Amino acid sequence: MSESTASSGTEIEPFRIDIPQADLDNLRARLNGTRWPDQLPGVGWDYGIPLDYVKELAEYWRDGYDWRGQERRLNEFPQFTTTIDGQNVHFLHVRSAEPGALPLVMTHGWPGSIAEFMEVIGPLTDPAAHGGDPADAFHLVVPAIPGYGFSGPTRERGWNVRRVAQAWDELMRRLGYQRYGAQGGDWGSSISRELGVIVPEHLIGVHLNMLTPVPSDQVELSDEDKARVEVLRRFRSTGSGYGAIQSTRPQTLAYGLTDSPAGQLAWIAEKFGEWTDGDLPDDAVDRDQLLTNVTIYWLTGTAGSSARLYYEAARSGGWGPPAPSTAPTGIAVFPKEIARPVRPLAELSNNIVHWSEFDRGGHFAAMEEPDLLVGDVREFFRRFR
């Protein structure tokens, strides 16, 4: 799968993605032999992702999508592996040529991967080449969460949000970064925020593009804020079935998703349909980038191990009220997020120093609106340079 194996001790080993052709041939054959389900007429998305759309996407994945081209794009970014707390960790490490660049660890979520950040890495590490100010440059570290992609699978219980955050702090220390910023959405938001809880002395600041509102009777909410909380309630009652399954039966789910690429595709693409700012997933994100994300899950066989993060979070207080964070925190609010952050609630447990509201974009901000996300990350971190 790569030119290196997982490293031992604290060594950092170069890594290059190199998928055997036999694996790609197997993927194509499986897509060609998909056993499709039926569907009721005229139901659209009411029962889940529509059959005709998944068929179209699977056909393109089989006959039009170019993994080798995407593999070359990913390999343009320097990447490495190391072992932390007994777990293989794969990461991109893209250093800026600018002498004053600020170290920043960016973390994806589910159903994302390092492929989420392909369009923001260049502008963040080399702003001058993308019409920006060289003073806004970052050294970027983009790790794959244990259990995800080329960091997967996990080999033991207990890889919850706090343990991942502890691993990230160790990773940044190994790379020579004693103080750094953190950025993320979805699980990346939880992990980035947790860094501000457990090692605030190492955190320059935390920038999040997701922060789920936690209802409280301690503050008065505006009608708009109440509407945002109501969206969260509706999501939990009608849109969170995937989370219930992944937090209770990830192993059972894994058999179907690991055996059927069409199943893996539908499981992920549905979320891009529901959580993005568009009628269809590829109205909001580039179709090839979406399929690169799906293909990473398929080729690494990490449908089950990525879902285990939900299981671990449910058993370690991950769904409860957040611990207070003193780290300076910036929030970017995109309108089609699963549940938009509510500032009065966020301020109960976070040191909010920056808050931006955008008129477009959704859950996968780095893929949907990379320019908006890059601009907000730059603006937030300028105060710490």
Residues noted as catalytic: 186, 310, 363
What is the amino acid identity at position 163?
R
> ∠ at Cα 287 (281, 288), nearest 5°?
150
Neighbours of 221 (CB within 10 A): 18
> Using the 8-state DSSP alphabet, how is residue 323 labeled?
P
Q: 149: helix, coil or strand?
A: helix
Three-state secondary structure string covering 185-252: CCHHHHHHHHHHHHCHHHEEEEEECCCCCCCCCCCCCCHHHHHHHHHHHHHHHHCCHHHHHHHHCHHH
Burial class (CB in 10 A: 0-12, 13-18, 19+), 206: buried
CB–CB of 369/313 below 8 Å?
Answer: no
Nearest to 173 by CA among 87, 88, 82: 82
Return the half-sphere exposure (C-beta side, CA atoms, 13 A cut-off) of residue 347: 11
CB–CB of 136/88 below 8 Å?
Answer: no
- The secondary element (H helix, E strand) that includes residue 182 is strand 180-184
- CA–CA distance, 126 with 144 (Å, rounded to integer): 22
**Please, which residues bridge with residue 140 across strands?**
94, 104
Which residues lie closer than 8 Å to 273 by C-beta, 6 or more apart?
Answer: 45, 49, 53, 280, 281
